Chains A and B, each alone.
Chain A
Amino acid sequence: MNYKIYIAVFIALGGLFSCGDLLTPKPVDRILDDQVLTDANSARVVLTSVYRNLANLGAPKIIAGDLTADNLIHNGTFTQFREISNKDISASNGSASSMWEVIYSLTYVVNFLYEGLPNIDISQNDYDEITAAASFLRAYAYFVGAYTYGGLPIVKSTQVDENRSVARASFEETLDFVESELLYALNKLPAESFNSGEATNGAVKALLARYYLYRQNWSEAEKYATEIIEGQGTKTYTLEPIFADAIDDFSTESILEIVYSANDNPGTSTDFSINNLFESRREIIPSSEMVLSLQMMEAAGM
């Protein structure tokens, strides 16, 4: 009799810890892969991740470009920047691999979009605009990557096993890929975005102009540059009369700008946030030569 009560209470208690819930809690800060792409809105949210990678490309691009070119010098304590500044780069240097990492992190998301979008209900307009932005950003990443590392492995799927060993394409093949991406994106993006933090048709044309310039295809370079200057299918860009204004955020000259927010500047942490490197730790500072030459050439009238 008493033990019956005991057993009843025991069973009731067991119910407090319902087996199903106990072993399969849900994470609050993550969603599962198959819940990511559901409609056009969610696709735009995923596209934000491509932009995030574009922002992450900013610091490695400056470190790879300006720090090796002595426009910037190392002023801090971290070995990885010192090595790049001294052009004595060891295999384990985190800054050397960070651009590579960002390029493929960006590529994964773009491929995820291309693989997932056909399976959801989305208008042709939305599809074109989202894929055009994705392709443009991927083209930019490969463009920067090709001129940093040479030919890159061109990855077009999200399959991990497949992507473990992708052969490196030649420099030419990589640049051909960049061109095809840009031509796909051409005229699919709006002429104007809310601010110049997002890709526009002008940005596509500007990158095409630069692409053909680098490839010494002068006529195509001139053609796209002229279209931007004349505002053909793009917003009208004008030069700022005062040089200092051109450096401000979203000036009238600005075609595409990476937007950084206060959150990109996390105090004293040691990631690749450019604000952190330049301002708080001053790991990296402009070289005296750079400052002098800017003063002489650009700021003469100020």
Chain B
Amino acid sequence: MNKVLLLISLSFLIICPLVAQDAQSTITGMVTGINGDPIPGVNIFIQNTTIGTISEFDGSYEINVPAEAQFIVFSYIGYLTTEEPIDNRSIINVVLLEDTKQLEEIVVTGYTSQKKADVIGSISSINPESVKDMPIIGIDQALQGQVSGVSVTQSSGTPGGGIMVRVRGNSSISSANQPMYIIDGIPVRDGRLSTRNFGGQNDNALSTINPNDIESIEILKDASAKAIYGSRAANGVVLITTKRGKKGAPTSFDIDVQRGIINPTNTIEVLNATELLALQREALANADENPDDAGLPGVTDAVNTDWQDAVMRQAIVEQYQISTRGGSEKTQFYMSASYRAEEGVMLNNDFKRATFTTNLDHQANERLSLGLNLNFARTKNNRVKGDNFLDGVYNAAITSLPYYTPYDEDGKLIAPGDAGYAEIPNFNPVGQAIEPRFDTYATKVLGGLFAKYEILPNLMLISKVNVDYLTTIEDQFEPTTTAIGGWLESVGSQGYGIYSTSEASTLLNNNVLTYNTSIGAIHEISALAGTEFISRTFRSGSTTGILFPSNEFTYLSSAGLILDGSSFLVNSGLISFFGEANYKYKSKYLAKVSARYDGSSRFGEDRKYGFFPAFSVGWRMTEEEFLKDYSWLDDLKLRVSYGLTGNERIGDFQYLATWNATIAYNGVPGTAPATLGNPNLGWEQNTEFNVGSDLALFAGRFQFTFDYYYNVTNNLLLNEALPYTTGFSSILGNLGEITNEGIELTITAVNVDKALRWTSQFNISGNKNIVQKLATDEPQFPGYQTFTNSTHIIAPGKPLGTFWGLKYLGVDPGTGDAIYYDKNNDGQLTASDGTFIGDAQPDFFGGFTNTLRYKGFDFTAFLQFSYGNEMINFGNTTLLNSGEEIKNNQSVKALKRWKKEGDITSVPKYEFGNTENNRFSSRFVEDASFLRLKNISLGYTLGEVMLAKLRLNGLRIYASGTNLWTLTNYSGADPEVNSIDGSSTAQGLDLYTFPQVKTILIGLNISF
């Protein structure tokens, strides 16, 4: 019997005989607030058991109580948890007192959870309620502006696009800087889905997760909180818990509907045909060339295409979700289905997602409980090319010459080969948007099965088997009406198709023992120990075909020539042992030790295992006698932590000395040296120190959390440049060092608590990032290539994201030429005059949320800000190019150009072919500080009388606007973008990057 069931369950479900149930009695009652209003949804459970229920819509409840039970506990977010002695009563009515300090709230801390009051690490929680009115595609977006120490940048306004999340700054130069995302215990894949380069902007694997299924998000920020995740924790950990059913709760349904319209936040003002032609003729004349010989059209207003308008549209977003949750004493469930369709503002760009979620919990017997998480998602992303791509859409729309048109007189799209096709660098951006097929399909399954077994009353064994499975299909075709498919002769000019697939899976098993005990009422000890095995596999394949018979044949089976094919597999794994012990003395002094021992397939033979310990102590001063008299002081806690974490994402097989296969020569396949070996290659190591304090005042009306941290990341993975005479350009080693030092402050306040309730949440963070050491004293130059090497520099003593170029001193009023700082004073302008010209690191950033509630109305305004960060408006090296070439349109700022002797301006004269005036310099660096009204929403919740009539539990309608207003001096389209999505070394780079979008939507939630 046991055997059969084991097979059926395919796992570790244990079959335990049922233990006879004790005698029970039933207790009923009402839960109300101090004003007598019923409070629905209150968690009600019998102390020291797992028996529980939640209160109904009218505040009533009913619960079965074992004979030996003594207390019933009532808890609800925003209210003080109340313990009622049972005392043989059968009706227990309770009045819950409001509590904004929420010290009893449970915080998920990794492999276990803790009362907030006992947490001595730096952990920030986000309630997904606070972002539910916003048109958020992925969970990473939900973090934006909500918590201190976490900076979130959307790299562009493309739906389903890449988002850069940094917890306490950038701690790595060449490895990943993204935090680890763990959903219900499963580390999920982040980063891009697609394998093809789309010109800077990537798509995003986290867009496959539906944020509406999330119950809570916790961000682990310091070593005390993170070290339990060891070699993967250096960049912070985002713990996500999805919604689950509740014990004894009646089955409830929720329906959420959102519909809205999307517009670009901004467009770039460029010259019209007349202005541009005048400028081009002037540039030619200044270069002593005859403008009439250059083949320019005559000065005319006849054709004046607004290309940005031509490739953009007002887009629609819609989202529908139905979910249900409930449960009996033994079995609880949560299920949901959702569909989201979001059009891009660019033509032919849209993102669709369908998700299904089932979470089950079952109490098999008194000792054994089982659970299941299952999320399935399917996304389809119709993409368009962008940024650093000549045949992109948005970039080409900005630079395309206004005297060309997308369609001819007959309304036919102008394509390669047609008269009026501008050719390089002006492909018809409308054709580039609507003609190609760039479809990316992703299928995601997150599955987990767990069992909890109570070995002794205070000793629990929890085992989990989880899988994160993600497949991606890229189905692409560029017909002859596009640049690649039709214009590019070297690939045949007869269509270009790619079909790529990839499959990423993570299989995980962990087994954790937890133990709790207390000695008298003085010492409380809790501990856990566990093992974890993680096996990761990534497979991919791609085929490219050209020479299609016609544009009707768009799949590779019709290709005349299969040009390129590949397939690939990589495995990696992690074996870990971890443990944690918490000690509490009289609820006053708290201490915690945690550690993880990680073995990773990515580390060299001589450094296969790493050890990551952390220590922390806390002191709850309000428990001391000398503070007892200050009744307005609810909580004052000091905490200090110190520990090590690592960054394991250093790439696979980097430590091996290997040869790879090369392109065949003369039909013969060959091998070639690939990498030099380094058996000592290991993780990047973060040594973290944190001091923090939590303060709550006036019955929780005001809460402050303050943290100071100093993190040193050393053993940074860097390529040490080798002289080419070795046959290699570099060898990889653990060489560099970066420090991040910062402060974080979060204030939560209930400003007014009458009929009008006004709450505020304010968070602000400052982080100082400094590169301390590189492989050698020689700096590195990431970013885009320029006259002085490249746009960015990594140099000791400077932060990552530092800009490098000539220092622009202005325009010589006499000649109209640009003047640059001659650093080495040699009288010449050379590459060695390059200097530091700014950086992308903000001095501080944060968010400010105000919520007002009055009767059924609620109003929220969420401001996001960043101050002191600079941006390279790299697009202006083309859009304001002083006539270096005349194949691109120019920004309206070119109207301020120097024209004649004596003109005082900051825009040099236009002279065709003059590269000197357009050298990359501080002229293209701008302040990108901004204050943005990220979201504003107004909602109305139907009154209870009406609800009762409609037989509903709740009904709320709302309107919400995102990115409606931005205050910035930045002259590009958007201060919050990055051309190289996710790059830490080349931050603050705008090269025609698509700006954020402005969304206005209305929504409806119904629960019954």
Contact = CB atoms under 8 A, between A and B. Distances in A.
B638 interface: no
B490 A265 contact: yes
A27 interface: yes
B601 A25 contact: yes
Interface stretch (A9-17, A63-71, A173-181, A212-220): A9-17
B472 to A, nearest CB: 19
A51 B666 contact: yes
Interface in A230-277: 259, 261-268, 275-276
Contacts of B6: 9
Interface stretch (A96-104, A117-125, A203-211): A96-104
A142 interface: no
B278 interface: no
B671 A49 contact: yes
B568 A29 contact: yes
A45 B669 contact: yes
Interface stretch (A30-38, A128-136, A286-294): A30-38
A98 B676 CA distance: 20
Contacts of A194: 666
A195 interface: yes
Interface in B202-254: none
B443 interface: no
B722 interface: yes
Nearest to B668: A48
Given A23-B573, A28-B568, A108 B727 contact: yes
The secondary structure that dominates the A interface is helix
B674 A30 contact: yes
Contacts of B665: 48, 51-52, 55, 197, 259
A261 B663 contact: yes
B511 interface: yes
Contact of A164 (B368, B573, B726): B726
Question: What interface size band does chain B fall in?
Answer: 35 or more
B422 to A, nearest CB: 15
A153 interface: yes
A13 B601 contact: no
Nearest to A55: B665
B657 A33 contact: yes
Contact of A52 (B535, B672, B725): B672
A13 B509 contact: yes
Contacts of B667: 259, 261
B723 A164 contact: yes
Interface in A74-128: 77-80, 82, 90-92, 97, 100-101, 103-105, 107-109, 111-112
Contacts of A259: 665-667
B649 to A, nearest CB: 16
A36 to B, nearest CB: 5
A160 B571 CA distance: 29
Nearest to A2: B16
A198 interface: yes
A302 interface: no
A9 B729 contact: no
B612 to A, nearest CB: 17
A132 B295 CA distance: 57
Contacts of A266: 564
B656 interface: yes
A49 B725 contact: no
A279 interface: yes
B727 A279 contact: no
B12 A13 contact: yes
A206 B785 CA distance: 41
Interface in B1-43: 2, 6, 11-12, 14-17
Contacts of A82: 915
A280 B490 contact: yes
A228 to B, nearest CB: 21
A123 B169 CA distance: 60
Nearest to A6: B14
B57 to A, nearest CB: 40
A73 interface: no
Given A23-B575, A24-B601, A51-B670, A30 B490 contact: no
B613 to A, nearest CB: 21
A164 B722 contact: yes
Contact of B600 (A23, A47, A55, A261): A23
Contacts of A51: 665-666, 670
A138 B387 CA distance: 42
Nearest to A266: B564
Contact of B12 (A9, A49, A92, A109): A9
Contacts of B563: 262-263
A29 B533 CA distance: 25
Nearest to A111: B727
Contact of B658 (A27, A77, A262): A27
Contacts of B669: 45, 48
Given A17-B533, A32-B658, A101 B488 contact: no
Given A29-B661, A51-B670, A17 B491 contact: no
A198 B787 contact: no
A36 B575 contact: no
B564 A263 contact: yes
Contacts of B535: 17, 22
A13 B465 contact: yes
A101 B729 CA distance: 8
Given A23-B600, A160-B726, A48 B662 contact: yes
Contact of A77 (B425, B677, B786): B425
A250 to B, nearest CB: 11
Nearest to B508: A17
Most buried by A among B367, B535, B601, B665: B665
A229 interface: no
Contact of A268 (B484, B509, B726): B484
B663 A264 contact: yes
B76 interface: no
B15 A36 contact: no
Contacts of A23: 573, 575, 599-601, 608
Nearest to A198: B666
A144 interface: no
Interface in A177-200: 194-195, 197-198
Contacts of A158: 727
Contacts of A21: 573
Most buried by B among A77, A112, A165: A77
Contacts of A100: 724
B950 interface: no
Interface in B641-687: 652-653, 656-677
A166 interface: yes
B490 A276 contact: yes
A198 B666 CA distance: 8
A17 B663 contact: no
A93 to B, nearest CB: 9
Interface string A45-59: 111110110010000
A5 B533 contact: no
Contact of B671 (A19, A46, A91): A46
A49 B670 contact: yes
Contacts of A45: 668-671
A163 interface: yes
Nearest to B492: A262
B657 A79 contact: no
A231 to B, nearest CB: 23
A79 B571 CA distance: 40
Contacts of A49: 662, 670-673
A94 B657 CA distance: 26
B681 to A, nearest CB: 14
Interface of A: 2-3, 5-6, 9-10, 13-14, 16-17, 19, 21-33, 36, 44-49, 51-52, 55, 77-80, 82, 90-92, 97, 100-101, 103-105, 107-109, 111-112, 153, 155, 158, 160, 163-166, 194-195, 197-198, 259, 261-268, 275-276, 279-282
Given A90-B789, A280-B489, 9 more contacts: A9-B6, A14-B531, A32-B658, A51-B665, A82-B915, A90-B831, A107-B727, A164-B722, A275-B490
